[in-house]
Copies of this chain bind each other. A is one copy, B any other.
Amino acid sequence: MRAGPSQEDIRRHNLGALLRHVHLGGPISRAELTAKMGLNRSTIMALTSDLTAAGLVREELPRETGRAGRPSLVVRPESSRVYVFAFDVGPDRLAAARVGLGGAILDRRETARRRGPFDLDELAGTLAGFARQMRRKTRPDTVCVGAAAAVSGGVRKDDGVIMFGPNLGAESVPFGEELGRRLGLGLPVSVGNDANLAALAEHSRGVAVGVRDLIYLHGDVGIGGGIITGGHLLGGHDGYGGEVGHMVVNPGGQPCGCGSRGCLEAEVGERALLEAAGRVAARGDTRANALSHDGDGAGRQGRDAVRAVVDAADRGDIVAQEALKRVGGWLGLGVANLVNIFNPEMVIFGGMLREVYLGSAAQVRSRLATNAMGPQRERLRLRTSALADDATLVGAAELAFAHVLADPLEVLARVTG
């Protein structure tokens, strides 16, 4: 119930809105901006010259339009000049990318991560090293305007601390602070949950552009969720919203890492599938732990192991088919619950759930038909992630760009001193 915005607020809003058009939609003519933003030509001209002076966009004559009359100048993001660092910390990989304004991944580094405890020193060191390598290759006139990391865990809204991340072996880790210190760029590192950021990425640049109500389900060792309702990411009171992996779908079912039983993650996660397919020993079997912490080269865990089950089922392996059927049934029940609760327009399967869904779509749809209410599922679309393994990195880049889009001139003034 605050008062309306001041003239200065409006200018800032308009600058951000114009930059966002260019950042998300790519090169666009002034004439199109005038139409899309509902502003007059002189205002658009003033805004683009401010952004041009700041080095965020440039204006060019369009290629031959074939039309008579003076062509409208095209506004392009300064993609190779203005960039952010995006990081991803998953159970099985560490990745870093240099992403230009406009969203292009300009450079990237990646390494496998061995599952186990969270070694803050080593992790932050590796990622900062990647950033330094990429930075050394940039031209002198480039400027880094932000940095953000996607992590497989629950991130406290107030300070970006990873409060829980059982699949990373993390608990109460001030990761962003440490990575920021190591980067030495004088920039804070924003930290977000990987599924939340992947949901934002699909919403901004993936399969769900223009979709205001969506659920993104991310499978890794565990199951995470990123939920967008009415165009806004569901953050929750402390920032832990979207932890759909610990919704109980099967009371008394498989034991879960969280201490409970029958969570979606326990019934549908990597381990549940590999156990059902007889590819790792069942939980409770003392050999199980040994196996699960085994080297990952043997394909006994991780994305390759999941793909192997789906491929085997495709080739007619009955055990693999039954495993997918079982896991797909629980996945379908979880999705049906979420569809009833959220009435989304789209559900997106990402990470290893992409493979699981493709291998068990019939079970998922059958459960939806039984358990989701008719009107809720009538216009529902089920999709797989368009950005695939880049979704988390792309989402982290969007998080890093967020404050630039909120206040373009202030940020650039601060960064370039």
Any B CB within 8 A of the CB of A243: yes
Report yes or no: A237 in contact with B344, Cβ–Cβ below 8 A. yes
Q: Would you call A234 an interface residue if the criterion is a C-beta within 8 Å of the partner chain's C-beta atoms?
A: yes
How many identical subunits does the complex contain?
2
Give the contacts of A206-263 with B (CB-CB under 8 A). 212-213, 225, 227, 229-230, 232, 234-244, 246-251, 258-260
Alpha-carbon distance A205/B208, docked complex (angstroms): 36
Assembled-state Cα–Cα distance A242/B136 (Å): 51
Whether B238 lies near A212 (C-beta < 8 A) is no
**Inter-chain contacts of A372 with B (CB < 8 A):** 246
Q: A298 at interface (Cβ–Cβ under 8 A)?
A: no
Chain B CB within 8 A of A342 CB: yes
Most buried by B among A17, A227, A230: A230
By a CB distance below 8 angstroms, the chain B residues around A156 are 375
Nearest residue (CB) in B for A233 is B230
**Is there contact, CB below 8 Å, between B1 and A238?**
no
Residue of B nearest to A163 (CB): B375
Q: Which residues in B have their C-beta under 8 angstroms from that of A343?
A: 235-241, 243
Closest to A39 in B: B3
Q: Which of A1-35 contact B (CB under 8 A)?
A: 1-5, 9-11, 13-14, 17, 20-21
Q: Across the interface, do B342 and A241 meet the contact criterion of CB distance under 8 Å?
A: yes
Residue numbers in B under 8 Å from A244 (CB-CB): 340-341
Whether, in the assembled complex, A52 has its beta carbon less than 8 Å from a beta carbon of chain B, the answer is no
Could you give, for residues 172-185 of chain A, a 1 whenever the CB lies within 8 Å of some chain B CB and a 0 otherwise?
00000000000000
Distance between A23 CB and nearest chain B CB, rounded to angstroms: 10
Residue A4 contacts which of B1, B10, B232, B375 (CB distance < 8 angstroms)? B10
Minimal beta-carbon separation of A4 from chain B (angstroms): 4
Please give the distance in Å from A173's CB to the nearest CB on chain B: 13
Q: Which residues of B have CB within 8 Å of A4?
A: 5, 9-11, 13-14, 17
CA–CA, A36 to B191, complex, Å?
33
Q: Does A370 contact B (CB under 8 A)?
A: yes
Assembly CA distance A338 to B9 (angstroms): 37
Contact B379 A238 (CB under 8 A): yes
Given A17-B1, A164-B374, A250-B251, verify A236-B241 contact (CB < 8 Å).
Answer: no
| Chain A window 378-411, contacts with chain B (Cβ cutoff 8 Å), 1 for yes, 0 for no | 1100000000000000000000000000000000
A131 cross-chain contacts in B, Cβ below 8 A = none
User: Distance in Å from the Cβ of A195 to the closest Cβ of chain B?
Assistant: 12
Query: What separation, in Å, do the CA atoms of A247 and B3 have in the docked complex?
Result: 40
Q: With a 10 A CB-CB cut-off, give which of A250, A373, A378 has the most chain B CB atoms.
A: A373
* Cβ of A191 to closest chain B Cβ, rounded Å: 15
A391 to chain B, nearest CB (A): 20
Distance (Å) between the CB of A225 and the closest chain B CB? 7
Return the 4 tightest CB-CB contacts between A and B, nearest first. Answer: A236-B343, A4-B10, A237-B345, A240-B343
**29 A–B contact pairs at CB < 8 A?**
A2-B17, A2-B38, A4-B9, A5-B5, A5-B10, A163-B375, A164-B375, A212-B237, A213-B236, A225-B341, A227-B341, A229-B235, A230-B232, A230-B235, A232-B232, A236-B343, A236-B344, A237-B344, A238-B376, A240-B373, A240-B376, A242-B341, A243-B341, A246-B372, A248-B336, A248-B337, A250-B251, A251-B333, A258-B373
